[in-house]
């Protein structure tokens, strides 16, 4: 078997703590269990990366708006935001682990996540 490694995939996860990062990639999708639309952001710097999903739901909207605010992108009621506007923006994030019960199995899972978005 051949395993292809693309540029940037050889980086480690960012360690715990606050980091200034660039948003280098965004992928869009739908959650596996509740069909909620999301976009996944890759936050990256020379030390590593972390990926974070943002769910387009009433509970997720304040977090999404906080990310846009940290990236310096204004938002207005009644106007759509484009996730592609985030690519290339620099922000400050807090990296750490979060544990939760997997809805499919009930087993505890731990994710590396970004939170605490601030302007860089």
DSSP 62-108: HHHHHHHHHTT----TT----GGGGTT-EEEEEEEEEEEE-TTT--E
What is the pTM for the complete model shown? 0.85
17-119 CATH, one of 2.40.50, 2.10.260, 3.30.70, 2.60.40: 2.40.50
pLDDT of residue 7: 64
Q: What is the pLDDT along the chain (120 residues), one digit of tens a residue?
A: 877 776 656 789 999 999 999 999 999 999 987 899 999 999 999 999 999 999 999 999 999 999 999 999 999 888 999 999 999 999 999 999 988 887 778 899 888 999 999 999
30-54 confidence digits (pLDDT tens): 998 789 999 999 999 999 999 999 9
């Amino acid at each position: 078997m051949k395993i292809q490694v693309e540029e940037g995939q050889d980086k480690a996860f960012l360690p715990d703590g606050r980091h200034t990062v660039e948003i280098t990639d965004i992928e869009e999708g739908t959650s596996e269990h509740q069909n909620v639309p999301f976009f996944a952001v890759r936050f990256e710097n020379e030390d590593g990366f972390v990926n974070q999903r943002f769910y387009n739901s009433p509970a997720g909207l304040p977090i999404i708006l906080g990310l846009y605010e940290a990236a310096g992108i204004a938002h207005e009621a009644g106007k759509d935001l484009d996730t592609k506007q985030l690519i290339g923006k620099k922000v400050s994030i807090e990296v750490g682990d979060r544990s939760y019960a997997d809805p499919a199995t009930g087993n505890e899972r731990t994710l590396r996540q970004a939170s605490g978005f601030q302007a860089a």
